[in-house]
Structure 1
């Protein structure tokens, strides 16, 4: 960490591409794409997408048209970029201008579209996608698809992170039934966890997301993925206080005896969730320390009383995410999931990218 930077977010692109190859190996010949929506899960689309392309990825999934345009700016013509939310009425021309492929989610989008696209089927999520009754309409009126080149038929698993859930098999069966009613086309169903459910979920193209970025694909199993993200901050100040003194807004933490409190320059404005107040934890030299008091906009406070004084001095590094702080455990403490922690990462950190495709150049 540079001397003049108080906080650094490190993204390990070599670990990211190793995670991509992990999924490729599990797919045994099925194509492996990548979800790079939400600025590549907070890790930086302009760095992540080219790194994945260099690893052999040719299929990229974003949520919105604007994300698709950003992805096209850093990916060459070999990359297929799919926009999951589909075309908003009046935006169709922009898809062609930037060589983007929409996921068509309803009959209205299908009616307005001409050209290559993905048909998105709702197999049980009840969000986006054509429900069974609309698939039945397409089967009965195939001329509705006359001007569309169906590149893929896709759906999305709702419970793949819990392999024992019966919804997984039910969605698989319904997806197969719906696909059989439509013109023959390659199919895509599996996300990160779906890939690990087994080959029956693989079809022709898989779309890993959270696993690429180091999150655990499963809710209650050991994480097989390599760590990609590490957030570190330098201690700004250490205070020695004693009862009945308090820490932070609302005097919400009252010490019960002599204590040392370290303040770090990270807060909810940086995406460090306020819900971790009194619940969060960090690591200093491999030793876990508790977050005390309320998280404020720019600062958090840690109880470092159990550490030797020399281990917690101004300027010393603290791991807040990654390193010895597991992203899924921290997310659970915050009452959320790793996806939200990653996609909330702020812009005030100094960002550092590691790996050959990044040339270790900071942004």
Structure 2
């Protein structure tokens, strides 16, 4: 079955701030600066932009437009439907590569949208080669090899097989040979060097073409990993590509939720589903219009912030609401309609991820479409 064109949340009718339960501000200027910093780190290598999952939940069309102003002309998405939607949004010009390759039978849709598949298997190569026979100029593609992650890409035996077939790449314009690092966020992990050596061996068997290995964290492993093209995603959006070290990227998102109601409770009051928390004394509470339907992970043990004051979550995260302990604020300081901060200066994406036992990628990619979205700095 072919992928249906992806529908970006940013394509929907805008939700007004008055109607929304939360406000998501996305700083396109920070994304542009992060791209400049990554490009500087790369030296002479080219820098693409990874826009899968609707630009990590922040709006692929808007992010692409901002990056194009910085000269970025190569984008990567995960799925064919994402590529079709992105092509419609940004028009002709930039190259768009589909990381997961093409589902069987969808090759003509990719051609119509001027998309470049990342070929991950001998079967995908055969299908793309067959499609290319109908075009005098051939069709572009990237070839991905599995250098040790065991996820996507031609296995070494497949690479050896196509290397022995003189007609394997007939009609295929190989733009890049690429692979993906499994442990780049751990600079001392031996898998990094092992994968680089495996990549060198495998790409030597394939048609000569520019090479691409580094993701966001891979860029910070140094020049031996840079090759001709890097493919940063998370770092563009402010996620720290060097865990354990100061974040070299600017923050990109500011997420605020509205207070729906405030109340006072007495000692012993059960709070939230299952009464998983009971008040240890008199408390002032606020309920915000925000929950796991908006992408905030239910397992999160976190807090919101208001006027530099931390407001802990109490009880379970609900589908559309979270209960906050606002006892540290002066009485009446927080009222219905006020905004509290969930992501921003007081709590980064990586901080929030740590409270949920996950990574910043999941936090951003989980953000829903019920927000009022503001784009600034673009």
Q: Matched residue of 1:177: which SS? A: helix
Indicate the larger mover: 150-159 or 179-188.
179-188
Q: CA shift at 1:307, angstroms?
A: 2.0
Partner in structure 1 of residue 360 of structure 2: 338
1:321 to 327, 343, 351: 343
Q: Matched residue of 2:118: which SS? A: strand
Q: Matched residue of 1:339: which SS? A: helix
Q: Distance in 1 between matches of 2:249 and 2:157?
A: 39
Q: Distance in 2 between matches of 1:340 and 1:310?
A: 35
Q: Matched residue of 1:68: which SS? A: helix
Q: Matched residue of 2:100: which SS? A: coil
1:78-114 per-residue CA deviation (whole Å, 9 max, x = no partner) reads 2000001111111111111111000010000111112
2:93 to 74, 78, 85: 78
Q: Distance in 1 between matches of 2:79 and 2:17?
A: 36
Q: CA shift at 1:309, angstroms?
A: 2.2
Q: Is the 8 A contact 1:49 1:74 kept in 2?
A: no
Partner in structure 2 of residue 282 of structure 1: 304
TM-score (norm 1): 0.95
Q: Is the 8 A contact 1:60 1:82 kept in 2?
A: yes
Q: CA shift at 1:146, angstroms?
A: 2.0
1:112-163 per-residue CA deviation (whole Å, 9 max, x = no partner) reads 1122100000011101100111111122223211221100000000010111
Q: Distance in 1 between matches of 2:291 and 2:209?
A: 48
Partner in structure 2 of residue 27 of structure 1: 42
Unaligned residue ranges in structure 2 (runs of 5+): 1-15, 133-138
Partner in structure 2 of residue 187 of structure 1: 211
Q: Is the 8 A contact 2:213 2:230 kept in 1?
A: yes
Matches within 5 A, 1:233-244: 233-244=257-268
Q: Distance in 1 between matches of 2:243 and 2:162?
A: 37
1:128 to 152, 162, 176: 152
Partner in structure 2 of residue 9 of structure 1: 24
Q: Is the 8 A contact 1:327 1:338 kept in 2?
A: yes
Partner in structure 2 of residue 44 of structure 1: 59
Unaligned residue ranges in structure 1 (runs of 5+): 358-363
1:320-351 per-residue CA deviation (whole Å, 9 max, x = no partner) reads 11231111111111121111111111111101
Q: Is the 8 A contact 2:220 2:242 kept in 1?
A: no
Give the count of matched residue pairs. 354
Q: Matched residue of 1:274: which SS? A: coil
Q: Matched residue of 2:36: which SS? A: helix
Q: Is the 8 A contact 1:72 1:98 kept in 2?
A: yes
1:178 to 202, 206, 210: 202
Q: Matched residue of 1:29: which SS? A: coil
Partner in structure 1 of residue 83 of structure 2: 68
Q: Distance in 1 between matches of 2:213 and 2:86?
A: 22
Q: CA shift at 1:219, angstroms?
A: 2.6
TM-score (norm 2): 0.91
Q: CA shift at 1:59, angstroms?
A: 0.5
Q: Is the 8 A contact 1:35 1:209 kept in 2?
A: yes
1:64-83 per-residue CA deviation (whole Å, 9 max, x = no partner) reads 11100111112233200000
Q: Is the 8 A contact 2:21 2:370 kept in 1?
A: no
Q: CA shift at 1:239, angstroms?
A: 1.2
Q: Matched residue of 2:305: which SS? A: strand
